[in-house]
């Protein structure tokens, strides 16, 4: 009887410890500029990353994929993979890592078209773009076109949910005539001109009220995560990468640049020295000359 009571007491002490749930966090993804190809592939990536975080931190991790940033913000997720331009327009998030694509933390973009290499051939045509909801107009007009093209240049702008569908709108659907995309991401279209680099997605802490130890542990796992597919890996972040791009989203007002004229120096001697002509004697003009012969007298 005494042994049975002891066993029951031990079981009662052990039960609360076993029933205590592990701390739970949510890791989400919103990266429409990355060519995952399908929504399923995008979700699979964040699920694999969540599993790696769970295994290395002991936290319970839930993975979510979002089609728009507003829904992600509404759900108050803890961590997220966020598109580069959206990180640039939301500086309040804590930056933990930057994605590596093709060995770099940013990708050069270009304007691609189905009409040829002349920009004027696109006047009045339809432009497909990724509707990320992070100052899309500033992305097109200022970051890509450097504030040099009138906003009414294109006849219409066709917003698509991700880069894959934006490219397809020009390359296969033929409902638009041009698209801005990373160099090397498109086949079958003609590059019109280069437009500059766009930072890759970042891994950020949305809920900054989390314990610092939790945030640092998750960041360490992400930076060491190799992964596979559209995102080749992660590196320690540089906020300057996103701050610089944020400045490119603003309209650039250009003014004419005038060259500074060379200074003209006057030597004081040039003013004080008398010109040589001032010493010349005046000569009166005469109409006739008379010669008086020597020794002769005129009667």
Instruction: Report domain extents, the chain.
Output: 15-105+200-248, 108-197
| Range 108-197: architecture per CATH | 3-Layer(aba) Sandwich (3.40)
15-105+200-248 CATH: 3.40.190.10
Residue 225 pLDDT > 70: yes
The pLDDT value given to residue 252: 81
Confidence at residue 292, expressed as pLDDT on a 0 to 100 scale: 64
Strand-pair category, 233-235 with 94-100: antiparallel
12: pLDDT strictly greater than 50: no
* C-beta separation of 178 from 113 below 8 A: yes
- pLDDT at 128 > cutoff 50: yes
For residues 275 and 272, give the distance between their C-alpha atoms in angstroms, rounded to a whole number.
Answer: 9
Supply the pLDDT for residue 111.
98
Predicted structure pTM score:
0.78
pLDDT at 266 over 70: no
Examine domains 15-105+200-248 and 108-197 and report if their fold is the same: yes
Residue 232's CB: how many other CB atoms inside 10 A?
15
CA distance 133 to 85: 10
- Do residues 26 and 78 touch, judged by C-beta distance below 8 A? yes
Higher pLDDT, 257 or 18: 257
Q: In this predicted model, what pLDDT tens digit does every residue of 167-194 receive, in sequence order? A: 999 999 999 999 999 999 998 999 999 9
């Amino acid at each position: 009887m005494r042994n049975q009571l002891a066993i029951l007491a031990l079981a009662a002490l052990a039960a609360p410890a076993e029933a205590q749930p592990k701390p739970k966090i949510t890791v989400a993804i919103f990266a429409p500029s990355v060519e995952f190809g399908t929504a399923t592939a995008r979700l699979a990536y964040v699920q694999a990353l969540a599993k790696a975080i769970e295994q290395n931190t002991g936290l319970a991790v839930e993975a979510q994929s979002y089609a728009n940033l507003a829904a992600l913000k509404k759900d108050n997720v803890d961590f997220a993979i966020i598109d580069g331009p959206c990180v640039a327009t939301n500086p309040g998030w804590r930056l933990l890592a930057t994605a590596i694509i093709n060995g770099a933390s940013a990708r050069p973009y270009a304007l691609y078209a189905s009409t040829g290499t002349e920009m004027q051939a696109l006047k009045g045509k339809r432009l497909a773009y990724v509707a990320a909801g992070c100052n899309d107009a500033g992305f097109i007009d200022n970051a890509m076109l450097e504030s040099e093209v009138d906003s009414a240049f294109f006849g219409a702008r066709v917003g698509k949910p991700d880069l894959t569908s934006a490219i397809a709108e020009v390359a296969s659907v033929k409902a638009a005539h041009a698209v801005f995309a990373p160099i090397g991401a498109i086949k079958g279209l003609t590059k019109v001109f280069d437009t500059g680099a766009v930072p890759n997605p970042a891994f950020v802490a949305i809920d900054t009220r989390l314990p610092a130890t939790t945030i640092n542990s998750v960041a360490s796992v992400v930076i060491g995560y190799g992964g596979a597919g559209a995102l080749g890996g992660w590196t320690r972040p540089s906020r300057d990468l996103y701050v610089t791009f944020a400045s490119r989203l603003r309209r650039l007002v250009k003014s004419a640049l005038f060259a500074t004229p060379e200074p003209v120096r006057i030597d004081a001697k040039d003013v004080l020295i008398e010109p040589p002509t001032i010493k010349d004697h005046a000569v009166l003009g005469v109409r006739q000359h008379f010669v008086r012969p020597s020794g002769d007298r005129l009667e």
